[in-house]
Amino acid sequence: MLSRSANNLYWLTRYVERAEYVARLIETAFRLSSMAKSVQAGMNEWHSIIEATGCEESYYAKHETLTAKSVIDHLVRDRSNPSSILSCFETARHNGRTERTSLSNDIWEAVNQTWHEARLLTDKDFTSDGVRSVLDWTKTRSLLFRGAVSSTMLRNEAYWFARLGLFIERADNTARILDVKYHTLLPSPEEVGGGIDYVQWTAILRAVSAARSYHWIYRRELKPWLIAELLILRPEMPRSLVACTNEITLLLDLLGRELGHEGECTRLAGQIHARLKYGRVDDIIQHGLHEFLTEFIDDMVELGNEITQQYLS
């Protein structure tokens, strides 16, 4: 397979996954905003969302102040923002069209139809209900796309590169969502364990559709260290860091055997996964959760660079 083709498939899935991530973050901000009123607290949830998406620079280049309306507009339909939902689907469609012959009809139709519907976002009514319908639509289209990839794509190097992009993006996104709580939304010491703290942890779990999973596994009230364990170290949780890195190592092993060579990316992925597989949440908390997540995000950036150098350039 040509490195150019591998690169297009890798970024096709990354951008679809990123669009869903942005939608989930905006939903989180809505929940935090409404819950904050119920506990009579003020939280700068919209700033936290801009920071978690890495869009601070592009946002403040166009806006002097931060408001819910302008943040939503920037993250949903601003074409100048490469991480907006509209931009993500546009780039995904471009990559998919370039690799049309590697995709099944179902995958292409999912990507193409999503893009045609996404173009209408510029004319959408962005009231509160209108935005929520867009977020639901984004998650549904992402699920449809992933289902088409999983159900109809040949299990060859094209599929492996597509899956690789998905899990690289998902691992990075899960770490950023969790770090929203410990870095940006962390309440003052006297509020830890109180109403605000509970509201924030609930919103983080719902952002990754893990609220029911948490209660199924732990069968107890919310505990910060158990939430961290669920999203970092529990392999049963499909969006956990250890589950994502496990998939990444398996995919890189498959690619290494198929293409006849393994590089630094395979070693680095194995090292990252081993630290998570044999890690303990007590050690992570003692080290510092924010510091741990920051190091993990940096590791994923390095891993992405190594994959690009090894296979995509």
For 1-22, the pLDDT digits (tens) are 789 999 999 999 999 999 999 9
What average pLDDT does range 72-96 have in this prediction?
Answer: 95
As a whole number of angstroms, the distance between CA 198 and CA 159 comes to 40
What pLDDT is stored for residue 121 in this prediction?
A: 86
What average pLDDT does range 249-271 have in this prediction?
Answer: 93
Distance, CA of 220 to chain centre: 27
What pLDDT is stored for residue 180 in this prediction?
A: 77
Above 60 in pLDDT, residue 39? no
Q: Which residue has the higher pLDDT, 67 or 302?
A: 302
What pLDDT is stored for residue 191 in this prediction?
A: 46
pLDDT digits (tens, 9 = 90+) for 206-256: 888 899 999 999 998 888 899 999 999 999 999 999 999 999 999 999 999
What average pLDDT does range 50-75 have in this prediction?
Answer: 90
- CB 229, CB 246: distance < 8 Å: no
pLDDT digits (tens, 9 = 90+) for 169-217: 999 999 998 887 665 555 444 444 445 667 778 888 988 889 999 999 9
Q: Which of 20-29, 88-97, 109-118, 202-211 has the lowest mean pLDDT?
A: 202-211
- Per-residue pLDDT band for 23 (boundaries 50, 70, 90) equals very high
Identity of residue 146: R
Above 90 in pLDDT, residue 114? yes
What pLDDT is stored for residue 185 in this prediction?
A: 53
Considering 39-43, 119-123, 135-139, the range whose residues carry the highest mean pLDDT is 135-139
What pLDDT is stored for residue 210 in this prediction?
A: 92
Report the mean per-residue pLDDT for the chain.
Answer: 89
What pLDDT is stored for residue 45 in this prediction?
A: 77
What average pLDDT does range 63-92 have in this prediction?
Answer: 93
Q: Which residue has the higher pLDDT, 36 or 30?
A: 30
What pLDDT is stored for residue 196 in this prediction?
A: 65
What average pLDDT does range 250-272 have in this prediction?
Answer: 93
